[in-house]
Amino acid sequence: KQEVTQIPAALSVPEGENLVLNCSFTDSAIYNLQWFRQDPGKGLTSLLLIQSSQREQTSGRLNASLDKSSGRSTLYIAASQPGDSATYLCAVKGPGANSKLTFGKGITLSVRP
Amino acid sequence: EAQVTQNPRYLITVTGKKLTVTCSQNMNHEYMSWYRQDPGLGLRQIYYSMNVEVTDKGDVPEGYKVSRKEKRNFPLILESPSPNQTSLYFCASSEYPRHPQETQYFGPGTRLLVL
């Protein structure tokens, strides 16, 4: 059974800092890995999707990497801003028929002005 | 605008009173799914549907029903809600769920409190 872990559960950094959010998963048989952002009381916004055959994806100040063999992914946020404060969720899609996403519990990021 | 909508967004009810949470998508997606999100447990899949009239259980289906009579709609039914179904519920859809590049689009969530 796939398990996705995100540690730490919460992180507080000063504005302008570059930071790395970590995600690990137990089963390397995945279709893709996604990073989502969730603002308090809101839905999920997809930030980056990395296919199992890819190593990284970039969007603006965000860069996500994937090491499938070791079961790890990182989300790098450059020059963090207070507007980046949110919960970041990592999810993997397995090869099963139900196409479900298995989510980590998320990292709640607070960027202090 | 491409979107997944859910109604209601907030709901307070009492134990045993049947309720339905609607989900609709305007992207002609074949695949739809329901998740619940609980503190300390993350998001877990309740039910999913690969197409019209095709539904199946996810990880936590107990106490829930779904139907898929039309492609765009995938309602979640709680026939006798209990307090342990208090949660934040998300509906999601995608066009090609098994494609490695395919993402799922999520609705805004429905916060349910069962007293």
- The structure tokens listed for A64 are 């996500």
CA distance A1 to B1: 37
Q: Above 70 in pLDDT, residue A97?
A: no
Which of A38, A72, A32 lies closest to A52 in space, CA to CA? Answer: A32
Average pLDDT of the segment spanning A5-18: 95
Q: Above 70 in pLDDT, residue B100?
A: no
Residue to test with chain A: of B27, B32, B37, B43, most A Cβ within 10 A = B43
Chain A partners within 8 Å of B97 (Cβ): 99
Contact, A32 vs B101, CB < 8 A? yes
Residues B42, A106: C-beta atoms closer than 8 Å: yes
Q: Give pLDDT tens digits for B62-82.
A: 999 999 999 999 999 999 999
Mean of pLDDT over chain A: 93
The 8-class DSSP code of residue B73 comes to: B
Counting residues of chain A whose pLDDT is more than 90, the rounded percentage is 82
Q: Give pLDDT tens digits for B3-58.
A: 999 999 999 999 999 999 999 999 999 999 999 999 889 899 999 999 999 999 99
Average pLDDT of the segment spanning B79-108: 88
Residue to test with chain A: of B90, B106, B110, B111, most A Cβ within 10 A = B106
Q: Above 90 in pLDDT, residue A99?
A: no
pLDDT at A94: 84
| Among the ranges given (A82-86, A91-95, B33-37, B60-64), the one the predictor scored with the smallest mean pLDDT | A91-95
Question: Does A64 contact B at CB distance below 8 Å?
Answer: no
What CA–CA distances, in Å, run from A7 to A2, A23, A72, A109, B21?
17, 7, 12, 12, 33
Average pLDDT of the segment spanning B81-93: 96
* Contact residues, chain B to chain A, C-beta under 8 Å: 31, 33, 35, 40-45, 48, 50, 56, 58-59, 90, 92, 94, 97-109, 111
pLDDT at A58: 96
Residues A34, B101: C-beta atoms closer than 8 Å: no
